[in-house]
Amino acid sequence: MQTRKLGPFNVGVIGLGCMNLSHAYGPPVSVDQADRVIAAAIEAGVDHFDTATLYGFGANEELVGRLLKPHRRKITLASKCGMEGRPDAQGVIRKAIDARPSTLARQCEQSLRRLQTDAIDLYYLHRYDRSVPIEDSVGALGDLVRKGVVRSIGLSEVSAPILLRAHREFPISAVQTEYSLWTRNAEIAVLAAAREIGASFVAFSPLARAFLTGALTDVTTLHATDIRRAMPRFASDAYAENLKLLGPFKALARQAGCTPAQLALAWLLAQDDHILPIVGTTSVAHLRENLVAADLALPPDLLAAADALINEKTVTGARYNTQGETEVNTETFAPA
C-alpha cells in the first residue's frame, strides 16, 4: 500500500477505524469476527489502527490491545481521550465529555493498560471541552509526551481557531474529523489550517456511514441502538432524497471500473496528500474492497463529476442533530 505521513509516522494511506467492532452501530460483533477483521487488515498491510476510550466504554481498547499485541512493533496505534462512559443516576452508562488534565492523565493510564502497550503512538483529544481552556487540555497531553507514554498528539472535531490555539501550546500531529463527499465541513477552514501547521488530516466516516457504499437503501432496517437513527440525514424523508444521488453515483463508479466505496475513497485520497481516511467495517470482504482504493488512479474529470454530484449543496439533512452539534467544535456551512 502507498504510504503517507501521520504525524511523525509513515503509514498506509488507508487505516482501520475499530469503533464499529464494539460501538455505535448496534450490538458488538463477536470476538471471533473482530479477530477475523483485524487479522485480515494486518495481512493486507494495514498498519494504522484507531480506537478510543469511549468505544464500547473501554471494551474496544481491550479488544484491539489483545488482538494487536503480537503486531505492536509493526503498527501505528491511535486512541482518544476526553470522552468516556459514565453511569447516570439510574445506572445507565452515558457518554461524558471531560478534558480536565487530571481526567486525561487517568484515561491515558487506563488506555495503556487496556491496549497492553507502554506508549500510544497518537493520542487525540476526542472532543474539545468548552469548560476547559484548550491550552490546559493540550498542555496535559504534552505532559504525557514528555513522560514517554504518548508519542504524538492530535485533536478530533475541532475548528481551525481551536486547532491553531492548541498548536501554539504543543505541536499537533494530526486532526481527525468526518470528511467525505457528503460531509464537507472540513473544507471551510480546518483542512487548510492542518496543512498550515504540518498536521496530518485523518478522515473518519469516509464512506458516509455506509451511504457511499450504495448498500444501505432502507434505513428502517437499522438497529434500535444504531447512532444513525438520531442523525437527520438518515431520517426516512431525508434519506429518500439522498438515495436519489446513488443511481448517478453508481453509474460513475461503473464508468471508473470500481465500486461506489472505492470511488468515494479514491476521491478523498485525491483531495490532498496530507489526508488519510480510516475505514470502519465488520466485514472482511468490505475491508478488502475498501483497501483496493489505495492504489486507484482515476481520471480527474470523473472525480470532478463525483464532487459535483454529492456535496454540501446536494445532500439533504444536517450531519448531527441538535445534541450532536453541541458536542463538536467544527465549522458549519451557512443555511442555504
**Please, are residues 174 and 204 in contact by the beta-carbon 8 Å criterion?**
no
Give me the DSSP letters along 168-235.
HHS---EEEEE-BTTB-GGGTTHHHHHHHHT-EEEEESTTGGGGGGT----GGGS-TT-GGGGSGGGS
Is residue 320 annotated as part of the catalytic site, yes or no?
no
Q: Catalytic residue among 55, 128, 239, 320, which?
A: 55
**Please, are residues 124 and 155 in contact by the beta-carbon 8 Å criterion?**
yes
Residue 336 has pLDDT above 70, yes or no: no
**CB atoms inside a 10 Å sphere around CB 42:** 18
- Residue 88's pLDDT is 87
The amino acid that residue 211 corresponds to is F
Share of the chain above pLDDT 90, in %: 96
The pLDDT tens digits for 242-299 are 999 999 999 999 999 999 999 999 999 999 999 999 999 999 999 999 999 999 999 9
The mean of the pLDDT values for the chain is 97
Q: What is the arithmetic mean of pLDDT over 137-146?
A: 98
- Residue 7's pLDDT is 96
**Please, are residues 23 and 54 in contact by the beta-carbon 8 Å criterion?**
yes
Domains and CATH numbers, the chain: 3-325 (3.20.20.100)
The pLDDT tens digits for 69-124 are 999 999 999 999 999 999 888 888 899 999 999 999 999 999 999 999 999 999 99
At residue 332 the predicted structure's pLDDT band, cuts being 50, 70 and 90, is: very high
The pLDDT tens digits for 216-239 are 999 999 999 999 999 999 999 999
- Residue 90's pLDDT is 86
Q: What is the arithmetic mean of pLDDT over 152-171?
A: 98
Residue 313, SS3?
coil
Residue 335 has pLDDT above 90, yes or no: no
